[in-house]
Structure 1
Amino acid sequence: MLKLHDELIAKLSNLLTAQNYNPVVIANNRLYGRAFLDYLVECDIPVETVVPAQVDQYFVYAIQDFEAQYGRPPSPRWHMLPRSAIAKVLRLAQGKWPPDAEMVGPDSEHRHEICNEYETWLRDERGLASASIAALMWEARNFLRWQFDRGGVASLQALAVTDVDRYMDMRAPGLRRKSLADVAERLRSVVRYLHRTGRIPTDLTPHIIGPMLYAYEDVPSTLDKSQIAAVLGATKEDQSPRGLRDYAILQMLATYGLREGEICRLRLEDVNWRGESLRIRHTKTNAYSYMPLLAHVGEALLDYLRLGRPGTEIREIFIRSLAPYTAITNLYGMIRGRLAAAGVEPAGKRGPHVFRHARAVEMLRASVPQKIIGDVLGHRSTESTNAYLKLATDDLRAVALDVPGTEVLS
């Protein structure tokens, strides 16, 4: 066991070194990883069989040990680095950490089988995009775990309307109407599949009802031209590697109105420098479209690739600015920070979609046909594009007609 632990710590060091971690961070990870492995030796627990509950038990022990050494409890954030180091060690030892949620608890094998079949059906039969599959799978795992904990595998055969009502009641607290409607839609998909495969005798989908939503009831957040210029100008002043990356991303958001996932998944081979074009894989449809590589976007990309992008074999263009140098997966924190730094405070949400909405409005005001706007934004139907008409209400007022026999209100 001790030899295996030494090998794990050596692998941990090599992994973090290859990912360009700071030497101090590597030393701290080694220290925390070794402390956890020593605890496993004392408890006679093989590292290959560790489960999340045993990691939690270790932290109870570690906090008590900290208090004994220093006479005070650790700070609330103290556990973050040790937990991260332990996760890396367990990932090396077990191949995957944390374990799949559906493999924990009673009836896990049957639940795992259903989830695997459902995921295959969503991907191969329905052809859904990865993001949609991930959301549906989360709901499926959560619902099946909840139902099996209440009545076991056999309870599916007796599933009734009251059961799905209880599940919706359990999910409702803290959710907005739109989010709860999404839960109902995902639950209908799961229940429909269970009925389709004979696991539920009655089709309960007509009885899974979410809150009523009205078409175009919410006006999306957006930015005007001056706000976009302010954000781009403030970000351009930051010539650090992170600043160069963020400026290139913001230029692409403002110019093309891309989704977050389309930016994060953009790869080096998607940029055709000679042909001056970009290949975009749309997140929701998995379809490809080609955009012209405009000069200001190309210059921002080149500056980042030459001066800001870390040395890594990863093919995605936009990389984390700190080790580990992996592809970025979320733009919300960056967008909020850059908006705040520029003193821009849009009403409502402050994520990457504010640039997408602004681009849509700009095209609407330029009299670009709705079909072309939808193609640029990667929409499947004109209904998706119609939502952006709400953002051009000033333009609609400008072309309003007087109705004979009525008084125009000011």
Structure 2
Amino acid sequence: MLDNRHELIAALNSSLVSQRYSPVVVRNYCTYASGFLDDLEQRGIPVSNVTDVQVEQYLRHAIAVFKKRRGRRPSARWHEVPRSGIHALLRLVHGQWPPAIKPTCAADEVRFSICAEYEIWLREERGLARASIAALIWEARNFLARQFDHGIDSLAGLSVTDVDRYMDLRAPKLTRCSLKSVAERLRSLLRYLHTTGRVATDLSGHVIAPMLYAYEGVPSLLDRGQIIAVLESAKRDKTPAGLRDHAILQLLAIYGLRSGEIRHLRIEDIDWRTETIHVHHNKTRAGTLLPLLVPVGEAVLAYLRSGRPETDTREIFLRTRAPYRKLDKLYSTVRRRLRDAGVQPPGKCGPHIFRHARAVEMLRAAVPQKVIGDLLGHRSTGSTAPYLKLATEDLRAIALDVPGMELLP
């Protein structure tokens, strides 16, 4: 065990260094991983048999040791470093951590089997995007887990009461829009269960969801002056994060791309010779070839030269800290850059407000709705229609006078 422990720590050190973790992080991760292995050795537990239970037990023990040595409890986030180091070690040993959940009873086996078949059906029969499938599968697992609490045969006797009870359970703390999404995901599962013969009656029509009216909410919108202020503020930040964020904001402001389209943009998607950029629309699975405009090209090139870490990852925009992988989301980045520029939209302040602004700018420039939809990657002109309500000043300009209105007080 002792020799194996040294080999594991050496392998962990090598793995972390190859991922370009800082020397301080490598040292801390290896220290906590080594302590965890010592604890396992004393308890006679092979590292190959470790579960989440042993990890949490060790972290509680480490907190107790910290308190005993220093006379106080560690900070609320102190456990993140030892946990990350231990998880890095376990990923090295197991190949994946946290490990995939394994069925513990007959009900779990049935639930896992249904979800696995449902996922294949969503992907191959309905052709849904990965993010949509993930949301549908999460809802399916949650619903089936609660249903099977009443017994493994409870699915055959699924009733409207069971559906209503689940929706009542999910409703608290959800907005009307979120609750409607839950209802749509549940309807999809119920239709599938009926189609495959697992449920005798199609209960999807009995799922009650809140009514949402078309275009009932007007999203936030940036004017040209605010966009320029945000771009200039980010441009002044010459750190790696600043160079990255400025390039992202240029893509948002000029092309109106979706967050996922920017996060999945790869090195080979930019052709510097022909000055074009290939955008993969994640919602429609289509592609658009756009001209690489000068502000965008200069911003991306500055990031690639001076801000992007050296890595084999093909996505252009990466985290600024190891492990260097593509960004998970852009919302916090955009929100921070808006705040730094002193721009405070009245509503949501995520990357989509740049998309709204770009659409309105094109509408005001008399660009045909079909062309706007093509640039934004919309599947139909109906998807572009919601942006029309944002050009309120344009609508006021063409408003008709109503006879008799001048007589009203």
Question: Which aligned pairs between 1:365-384 and structure 2 lie closer than 5 A?
Answer: 365-384=364-383
User: Is the CA contact (8 Å cut-off) linking 1:102 and 1:145 kept in structure 2?
Assistant: no
User: Is the CA contact (8 Å cut-off) linking 1:244 and 1:304 kept in structure 2?
Assistant: yes
Shift of 1:245: 1.0
- The residue aligned with 1:216 is 215
Aligned residue type for 1:390: K
Q: Does the C-alpha gap of structure 1 residues 111 and 314 become closer, same or farther in structure 2, counting only changes over 3 Å?
A: same
Establish whether residue 144 from structure 1 lines up as the match of residue 162 from structure 2.
no
- The residue aligned with 1:319 is 318
Deviations 1:138-168 (A, max 9, x none): 11122222222x2233211111111111111
Q: Unpaired runs of 5+ in structure 2?
A: none
Q: Does the C-alpha gap of structure 1 residues 368 and 185 become closer, same or farther in structure 2, counting only changes over 3 Å?
A: same
Shift of 1:75: 1.4
Q: Does the C-alpha gap of structure 1 residues 60 and 234 become closer, same or farther in structure 2, counting only changes over 3 Å?
A: same
Shift of 1:105: 6.6
- The residue aligned with 1:207 is 206
Shift of 1:55: 2.1
Deviations 1:328-374 (A, max 9, x none): 12111111111111111111111111111111111111121212211
Secondary structure, counterpart of 2:371 in structure 1: helix
Establish whether residue 175 from structure 1 lines up as the match of residue 174 from structure 2.
yes
Question: Which aligned pairs between 1:109-120 and structure 2 lie closer than 5 A?
Answer: 109-120=109-120
Q: Does the C-alpha gap of structure 1 residues 152 and 279 become closer, same or farther in structure 2, counting only changes over 3 Å?
A: farther
- The residue aligned with 1:163 is 162
> Identity, % of aligned pairs?
60
Establish whether residue 14 from structure 1 lines up as the match of residue 17 from structure 2.
no
User: Is the CA contact (8 Å cut-off) linking 1:276 and 1:293 kept in structure 2?
Assistant: yes
Q: Hey, what's the Cα distance between the residues in 2 that align with 1:345 and 1:106?
A: 53
Deviations 1:177-236 (A, max 9, x none): 000100110111111111111111211100012111111111111211000000000111
Aligned residue type for 2:64: Q
Question: Which aligned pairs between 1:88-127 and structure 2 lie closer than 5 A?
Answer: 88-101=88-101, 103=103, 107-127=107-127
Question: Which aligned pairs between 1:268-283 and structure 2 lie closer than 5 A?
Answer: 268-283=267-282
- The residue aligned with 1:78 is 78
| TM-score (norm. length: structure 1) | 0.95
Q: Hey, what's the Cα distance between the residues in 2 that align with 1:319 and 1:304?
A: 11
Aligned residue type for 1:362: E
Q: Hey, what's the Cα distance between the residues in 1 that align with 2:102 and 2:249?
A: 38
Q: Does the C-alpha gap of structure 1 residues 408 and 72 become closer, same or farther in structure 2, counting only changes over 3 Å?
A: farther
Q: Hey, what's the Cα distance between the residues in 2 that align with 1:376 and 1:250?
A: 17
Tell me whether 213-222 or 107-116 shows the greater mean CA deviation. 107-116
Secondary structure, counterpart of 1:343 in structure 2: coil
Structure 1 stretches of 4+ with a deviation exceeding 4 A read 101-106
Shift of 1:101: 4.6
- The residue aligned with 2:184 is 185
Q: Does the C-alpha gap of structure 1 residues 70 and 408 become closer, same or farther in structure 2, counting only changes over 3 Å?
A: farther
Q: Hey, what's the Cα distance between the residues in 2 that align with 1:316 and 1:360?
A: 26
Q: Does the C-alpha gap of structure 1 residues 409 and 130 become closer, same or farther in structure 2, counting only changes over 3 Å?
A: farther
Question: Which aligned pairs between 1:35-74 and structure 2 lie closer than 5 A?
Answer: 35-74=35-74
Shift of 1:278: 0.9
Q: Does the C-alpha gap of structure 1 residues 16 and 106 become closer, same or farther in structure 2, counting only changes over 3 Å?
A: farther
User: Is the CA contact (8 Å cut-off) linking 2:19 and 2:323 kept in structure 1?
Assistant: yes
User: Is the CA contact (8 Å cut-off) linking 1:278 and 1:291 kept in structure 2?
Assistant: yes
- The residue aligned with 1:255 is 254
Shift of 1:50: 2.3
Q: Hey, what's the Cα distance between the residues in 2 that align with 1:104 and 1:363?
A: 56
Q: Hey, what's the Cα distance between the residues in 2 that align with 1:111 and 1:347?
A: 44
Q: CA RMSD in A?
A: 1.7
Q: Hey, what's the Cα distance between the residues in 1 that align with 2:53 and 2:80?
A: 17
Tell me whether 138-147 or 278-287 shows the greater mean CA deviation. 138-147
- The residue aligned with 1:401 is 400
Aligned residue type for 1:6: H
User: Is the CA contact (8 Å cut-off) linking 1:268 and 1:317 kept in structure 2?
Assistant: yes
User: Is the CA contact (8 Å cut-off) linking 2:259 and 2:330 kept in structure 1?
Assistant: yes
User: Is the CA contact (8 Å cut-off) linking 2:364 and 2:391 kept in structure 1?
Assistant: yes
Shift of 1:408: 8.3
Shift of 1:65: 2.1
Q: Hey, what's the Cα distance between the residues in 2 that align with 1:272 and 1:69?
A: 58
User: Is the CA contact (8 Å cut-off) linking 2:106 and 2:152 kept in structure 1?
Assistant: no
Aligned length: 409
Q: Does the C-alpha gap of structure 1 residues 104 and 324 become closer, same or farther in structure 2, counting only changes over 3 Å?
A: farther
Q: Does the C-alpha gap of structure 1 residues 207 and 351 become closer, same or farther in structure 2, counting only changes over 3 Å?
A: same
- The residue aligned with 1:304 is 303
Aligned residue type for 1:169: D
User: Is the CA contact (8 Å cut-off) linking 1:320 and 1:328 kept in structure 2?
Assistant: yes
Secondary structure, counterpart of 2:401 in structure 1: coil
Shift of 1:108: 2.5
Tell me whether 383-392 or 47-56 shows the greater mean CA deviation. 47-56
